[in-house]
């Protein structure tokens, strides 16, 4: 495959409602899209990094910079390029996994489109549709939270995830459990707690949560292992798992019993599949996380979520949960499920008018 150029676009798309987590509130998603153009096709990759460096060190404008100055030139120098050669070519660049993932995804999409193979088939998907959950941000009050959850349950979501932080944990969880009974319920702290909060977090035990996601800082694997000995709720790691190697270490250490797999966070779909395999070999259930992706990233996430080890509903929600107008044809929930695209590559493409409308910056890098 011969790369002829790479386009890097920055887009800004308003969210249907502000999304508040322990690290801030998003009202508009600023994101980077990569379009890899080859001699006989083109492919798209969406970068998961948000506006600021608050979920992790990465952010959209840094991704643009590292792509333009380092990643694209390094990949442009690869002979006989294919997606499996992208990560090795970028190995000398520290971090920037979301930027690397976007570029690898674009190359993989271009290759698969040219060969008429879907993402799902290439990754090893075994399902035509995937069970979907929804991530509910921190709200101004408990009544507002109950209204939001009621709306999502009415939409058909099969699992509810509540964002928590110190001061917004036991009471909102109690309120949701009391009001909605026996639903699949889990929480995500985005690193907002410290080791000394173990006893406090054990107060979530009576609510029979599916999991407690990333309570402690991303580099604190040992802390998570100790916490797992104090709380009964299963610990799930998100931010801490940046590779198949860290997944293997976290499992060996007893730092988690469930893993949230986000392809961007781990450098791409190929590494994401390796994490799936490591977890499957260890009997660790996985589920697909989300970074408020547009339809482009969502299509690829659905393909991944259709692999056999993805046994829990993911943060793979319908287009309308995020955007009034998605970048692709909208993904619509059907009895709590989204259909895995089957067309070549991602199986979806940006709608040209929508894409132009949300683009705030555009660079063409000839190869
Ligand atoms: O895409 O539905 C989605 C968002 C899911 O909660 C979600 N993501 O830590 O898991 C997580 C967060 C990180 C993104 S917050 C902008
Ligand atoms: Mg998370």
Q: Locate the ligand 1 atom nearest the alpha carbon of residue 289 and give its number.
A: 10
Are residues 131 and 84 part of one domain? Answer: no
Residue 281's pLDDT is: 98
Place of tokens 């790369």: 3
**Atom 5 of ligand 1 has which residue's CA nearest to it?**
290
Residue 185's pLDDT is: 98
The CA distance from 6 to 180, in Å, is: 48
Q: Locate the ligand 1 atom nearest the alpha carbon of residue 134 and give its number.
A: 2
DSSP string spanning 50-91? Answer: -SSTTSSS--HHHHHHHIIIIIHHHHHT-TT--GGGHHHHTT
Are residues 233 and 103 part of one domain? Answer: no
Nearest-ligand number for the alpha carbon of 136:
1
Q: Is 315 in the pocket of ligand 1 (CB under 6 A)?
A: yes
DSSP state of 331: P
Are residues 128 and 191 part of one domain? Answer: yes
Q: By residue range, what is the domain housing residue 96?
A: 3-116+351-360
Q: Are 189 and 214 in contact (CB under 8 A)?
A: yes
> How far does residue 290's CA lie from ligand 2's centre (Å)?
8
Are residues 180 and 111 part of one domain? Answer: no
Are residues 328 and 272 part of one domain? Answer: yes
Are residues 107 and 128 part of one domain? Answer: no
> How far does residue 289's CA lie from ligand 2's centre (Å)?
7
Catalytic annotation present for 262:
yes
Long-range contacts of 50-55 (CB under 8 A, 24+ apart): 50/26, 50/291, 50/292, 51/26, 52/24, 54/23, 54/24, 55/21, 55/23, 55/190, 55/239, 55/291
Q: Is 317 in the pocket of ligand 1 (CB under 6 A)?
A: yes
Domain of 167: which CATH number?
A: 3.20.20.120
Q: Locate the ligand 1 atom nearest the alpha carbon of residue 214 and give its number.
A: 9
Is 346 among the domain residues?
A: no
The CA distance from 62 to 67, in Å, is: 8
pLDDT tens, N- to C-terminus, the chain (367 residues): 999 999 999 999 999 999 999 999 999 999 999 999 999 999 999 999 999 999 999 999 999 999 999 999 999 999 999 999 999 999 999 999 999 999 999 999 999 999 999 999 999 999 999 999 999 999 999 999 999 999 999 999 999 999 999 999 999 999 999 999 999 999 999 999 999 999 999 999 999 999 999 999 999 999 999 999 999 999 999 999 999 999 999 999 999 999 999 999 999 999 999 999 999 999 999 999 999 999 999 999 999 999 999 999 999 999 999 999 999 999 999 999 999 999 999 999 999 999 999 999 999 999 9
Residue 75's pLDDT is: 98
Q: Locate the ligand 1 atom nearest the alpha carbon of residue 239 and give its number.
A: 9
Q: Is 291 in the pocket of ligand 1 (CB under 6 A)?
A: yes
Global confidence as pTM: 0.98
The CA distance from 48 to 63, in Å, is: 10
**Atom 14 of ligand 1 has which residue's CA nearest to it?**
291
Are residues 236 and 109 part of one domain? Answer: no
Are residues 356 and 316 part of one domain? Answer: no
Domain of 75: which CATH number?
A: 3.30.390.10
Is 263 among the domain residues?
A: yes
**SS3 category, 131:** strand
The strand pair at 159-163 and 184-188 is best described as parallel
Are residues 272 and 164 part of one domain? Answer: yes
List strand residue ranges (DSSP E) for the chain, in order. Answer: 3-21, 24-38, 42-46, 129-131, 133-136, 159-163, 184-188, 212-213, 235-237, 258-261, 286-288, 337-339, 359-366
Are residues 255 and 127 part of one domain? Answer: yes
**Atom 15 of ligand 1 has which residue's CA nearest to it?**
291
In the set 2, 100, 161, 262, the catalytic residue is 262
Q: Are 195 and 216 in contact (CB under 8 A)?
A: yes
Q: Are 153 and 132 in contact (CB under 8 A)?
A: no
Catalytic annotation present for 161:
no
Residue 288's pLDDT is: 98
Are residues 140 and 94 part of one domain? Answer: no
Q: Are 190 and 24 in contact (CB under 8 A)?
A: no
Q: Count the domains in the chain.
A: 2
Nearest-ligand number for the alpha carbon of 291:
1
Is 365 among the domain residues?
A: no
Structure tokens belonging to residue 310: 């993805």
Is 320 among the domain residues?
A: yes
Q: Is 62 in the pocket of ligand 1 (CB under 6 A)?
A: no
> How far does residue 186's CA lie from ligand 1's centre (Å)?
13
Is 164 among the domain residues?
A: yes
Nearest-ligand number for the alpha carbon of 22:
1
Are residues 90 and 64 part of one domain? Answer: yes
> How far does residue 148's CA lie from ligand 1's centre (Å)?
16
Q: Are 345 and 119 in contact (CB under 8 A)?
A: yes
Is 344 among the domain residues?
A: no
């Amino acid at each position: 495959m011969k790369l002829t150029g790479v386009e890097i676009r920055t887009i800004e798309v308003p969210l249907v409602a502000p999304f508040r987590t322990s690290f801030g509130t998003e009202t508009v998603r600023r994101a980077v899209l990569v379009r890899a153009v080859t001699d006989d096709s083109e492919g798209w990759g969406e970068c998961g990094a948000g506006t600021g460096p608050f979920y992790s060190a990465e952010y959209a404008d840094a991704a643009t910079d590292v792509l333009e100055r380092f990643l694209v030139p390094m990949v442009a120098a690869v002979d006989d390029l294919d997606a499996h050669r992208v990560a090795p070519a970028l190995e000398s660049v520290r971090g920037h996994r979301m930027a690397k993932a976007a570029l690898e995804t674009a190359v993989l999409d271009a290759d698969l489109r040219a060969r008429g193979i879907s993402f799902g088939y290439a990754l090893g998907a075994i399902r035509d549709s995937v069970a979907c959950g929804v991530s509910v941000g921190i709200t101004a009050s408990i009544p507002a939270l109950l209204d939001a959850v009621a709306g999502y349950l009415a939409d058909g979501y099969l699992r509810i995830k509540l964002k928590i932080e110190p001061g917004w944990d036991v009471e909102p969880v109690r309120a949701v459990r009391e009001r909605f009974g026996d639903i699949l319920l889990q929480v995500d702290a985005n690193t907002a707690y410290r080791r000394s909060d173990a006893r406090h977090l054990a107060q979530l035990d009576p609510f029979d949560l599916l999991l407690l996601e990333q309570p402690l800082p991303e580099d604190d694997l040992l802390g998570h292992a100790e916490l797992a000995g104090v709380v009964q709720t299963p610990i799930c790691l998100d931010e801490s798992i940046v590779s198949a190697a860290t997944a293997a270490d976290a499992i060996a250490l007893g730092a988690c019993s469930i893993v949230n797999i986000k392809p961007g966070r781990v450098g791409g779909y190929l590494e994401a599949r390796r994490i799936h395999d490591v977890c499957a070999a260890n009997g660790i259930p996985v589920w697909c996380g989300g970074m408020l992706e547009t339809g482009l990233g969502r299509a690829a996430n659905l393909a991944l979520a259709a692999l056999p080890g993805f046994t829990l509903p993911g943060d793979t929600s319908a287009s309308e949960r995020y955007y009034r107008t998605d970048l692709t044809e909208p993904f619509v929930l059907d009895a709590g499920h989204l259909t895995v695209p089957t067309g070549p590559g991602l199986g979806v493409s940006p709608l040209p008018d929508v894409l132009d409308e949300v683009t705030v910056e555009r660079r063409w890098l000839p190869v």
